[in-house]
């Protein structure tokens, strides 16, 4: 990309699920060039398009640039990686034909360590992370529902070479109606997102409960708070200071969310592997390497690993 291209970025969405579908539809609705990679519902999208029912307004994209095989995708300035992180073993093979010298890799995946992994795969690329608070769910083929207003926190892995690029991407997302906050410390923001993801994703599966049932129970609310406090200690040991009051903010936020099933609960219900590696195992490892054992997080990981292996076994 050159400076002259700054008003005309093109996007490829790798993984047209809840997140990729929501952002891709909103970008395309502004007139941006957006290509979608879809798997199970490729034929449906090709014929019927993509539909988003959103708190921000409903959109039906009727003519969608959709592809079933990554090797058939046209080039794009920005590749948005929206696959479940359980598929990251295929990522390098999938992206290699698409990545040019100036291609930006923008990952919207959950968890810790993903930007670093992408950078090791493609050392010459600018890697940008997006921490998403979206409240979107894929209801059926080509159909996504977006019930909670949210934002993206966007930041490059290496601010010195990627902040300008992240700023240009943020302009497109803001134009599409997606609020964006820029950061120079995306890894800290990932730790902060884990403070919500780890307790509520984990408990939703273990307790078979949506977010409202968990947060309304005094014992589970307190347990969630204690998990968050462990993560504050883990993040601090890794060099990322998070104020202890942030746990209270997340509790209050969850109390006011539209009740919903978490992404991990939906994966469990659909008998798909849960995203344990980057959401729980990597944070546990990084904290332990610096002398912090997050005991409650470890218990959650152990239970979920048992459930995951039993379900898939």
Catalytic annotation, residues? 193
Please state, in angstroms and rounded to a whole number, the distance separating the CA atoms of residues 64 and 62.
6
Please state, in angstroms and rounded to a whole number, the distance separating the CA atoms of residues 294 and 122.
32
Per DSSP, what are the bridge partners of residue 131?
153
Q: What are the backbone angles phi and psi of residue 240, rounded to the nearest 5°?
A: -120, 105
With tokens 């592809």, the residue in question is 67
**SS3 per-residue string spanning the chain:** CCHHHCCCCCEEEECCCHHHHHHHHHHHHCCCCEEEECCCCHHHHHHHCEEEEECCCCEEECCCEEECCHHHCCCCCEEEECCCHHHHHHHHHHHCCCCCCCCEEEECCCCCCHHHHHHHHCCCCEEEEEEEECCEEEEECCEEEECCCCEEEEEECCHHHHHHHHHHHHHHHHHCCCCEEECCCHHHHHHHHHHHHHHHHHHHHHCCCCHHHHHHCHHHHHHHHHHHHHHHHHHHHCCCCCCCHHHHHHHHHHHCCCCCCCHHHHHHHCCCCCCHHHHHHHHHHHHHHCCCCCHHHHHHHHHHHHHHHHHHC
């Amino acid at each position: 990309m050159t400076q002259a291209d700054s008003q005309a970025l093109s996007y490829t969405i790798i993984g047209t699920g809840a997140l990729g579908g929501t952002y891709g539809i909103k970008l395309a609705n502004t007139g941006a060039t957006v290509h979608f990679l879809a798997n199970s519902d490729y034929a449906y999208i090709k014929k019927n398009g993509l539909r988003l029912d959103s708190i921000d307004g409903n959109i039906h994209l009727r003519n969608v640039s959709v592809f079933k095989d990554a090797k058939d995708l046209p080039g794009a300035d920005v590749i948005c990686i929206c696959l479940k992180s359980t598929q990251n073993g295929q990522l390098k093979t999938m992206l290699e034909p698409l990545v040019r010298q100036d291609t930006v890799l923008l990952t919207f995946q959950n968890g810790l360590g993903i930007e670093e992994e992408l950078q090791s795969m493609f050392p010459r690329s600018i890697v940008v992370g997006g921490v998403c608070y979206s409240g979107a769910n894929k209801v059926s083929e080509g159909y996504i529902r977006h019930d909670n207003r949210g934002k993206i926190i966007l930041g490059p892995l290496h601010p010195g070479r990627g902040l300008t690029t992240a700023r240009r991407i943020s302009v497109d997302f803001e134009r599409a109606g997606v609020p964006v906050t820029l950061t120079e410390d995306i890894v800290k923001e990932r730790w902060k997102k884990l403070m919500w993801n780890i307790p509520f994703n984990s408990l939703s599966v273990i307790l078979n409960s949506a977010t409202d049932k968990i947060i309304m129970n005094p014992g589970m609310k307190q347990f969630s708070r204690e998990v968050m406090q462990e993560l504050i200690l883990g993040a601090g040991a890794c060099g990322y200071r998070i104020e202890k009051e942030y746990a209270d903010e997340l509790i209050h936020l969850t109390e006011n969310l539209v009740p919903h099933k978490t992404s991990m609960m939906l994966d469990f219900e659909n008998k798909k592997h849960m995203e344990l590696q980057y959401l729980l195992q990597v944070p546990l490892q990084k904290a332990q390497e610096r002398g912090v054992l997050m005991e409650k997080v470890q218990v959650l990981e152990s239970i979920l690993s048992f459930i995951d292996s039993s379900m898939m076994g």
